[in-house]
Amino acid sequence: MSKFPVAIVGVGNMGGAMALNLLACGWAVQVCDVVACKAQNLVQFGAVAQQNVAQAAIESVATIVCVVDSAQCETVLFGSQGLASVMQPGQVVLLCPTLAPQDVESFAQRLAERGIAVLDAPMSGGPVRAREGAMSLMVAGEDIVFERMKPLLSALSNQVFHISARVGDGARTKLVNNLAAGINLVGAAEVLALARAMGLDLAATLDVIEQSSGQSWIGSERMRRAIAGDLAPRAHMTLLEKDTRLAVQAAQALGFEGPLGAAARDVFAQASAGGMAELDDAALLQWLSLK
């Protein structure tokens, strides 16, 4: 496998896990985060920590952007010390956050004007899978760029899906996936809150669900932690609040209205506003049990 220098901007739960995976595989990785200690913590594993985005990206063939939302992407890409200020034609940006498709398209167009290629590459699976190189990557972008980045994509994930050559389709696929995840998670939390109200043992109930027709990966993963009282944030409540909101907005723009998406969106919004924004989204069980 041909390895080349990589930068990762944003090394929180997911970006940090991706960095650890690449470093363990022998890649040269520069890291940067607005919280400097997150980047500095990766130095012991072989990363080079940089103080700003431009320093991290200037000598990298590919820069992975792993921040939270479009506003942060705007700053990372086009701020005073952003990627666009230093990257040269031929370098590649991988956009990994969950974003509105139109924002991805806009970012890609503005970078293309500078000769900088973009892969629309949102991810799914959580930090543990990212650390193991087993998360999903939904990649959209020109075939020639995809082929150039294939060694990196394969190192990041053993589940790489090349959605299409149209930047924005990765974002569309991710919104569809995350709306399903949000609906499933609300459903899992609701039925376990009901089980609690019925006086059932929650762990035993989840054992049954996991081997029966109600099983879902996100329901099992999150509810096991919720039952144990482990609400340390792997995925903050606000992330699925944002993702379900973006998904419903995308549906509404098409004139599509389903029965469950908006309801799931509202649950995440209410839980976040109700004091659970900084908790893991597994806290939905606690939220619904209080209602």
Task: Give catalytic residue positions.
Answer: 174
d(CA 203, CA 199): 12
For residue 17, what are the contacts with CB-CB under 8 A and spacing of at least 6? 127, 128, 130, 131
d(CA 17, CA 55): 21
Q: Sign of the CA dihedral 166, 171, 174, 179? A: negative
Element (H, E) at 119: strand 117-120
Smallest CA-to-CA distance from 157 within 130, 192, 178, 183 is with 130
Smallest CA-to-CA distance from 96 within 174, 25, 177 is with 174
For residue 124, what are the contacts with CB-CB under 8 A and spacing of at least 6? 135, 136, 138, 174, 177, 178, 181
For residue 207, what are the contacts with CB-CB under 8 A and spacing of at least 6? none
For 251, half-sphere exposure in the C-beta direction (CA atoms, 13 angstrom radius) is 17
- The amino acid that residue 9 corresponds to is V
Q: Catalogue the long-range contacts made by 42-47 (C-beta closer than 8 Å, 24 or more residues apart).
A: 42/11, 42/16, 45/19, 45/20, 47/19, 47/23
For 135, half-sphere exposure in the C-beta direction (CA atoms, 13 angstrom radius) is 24
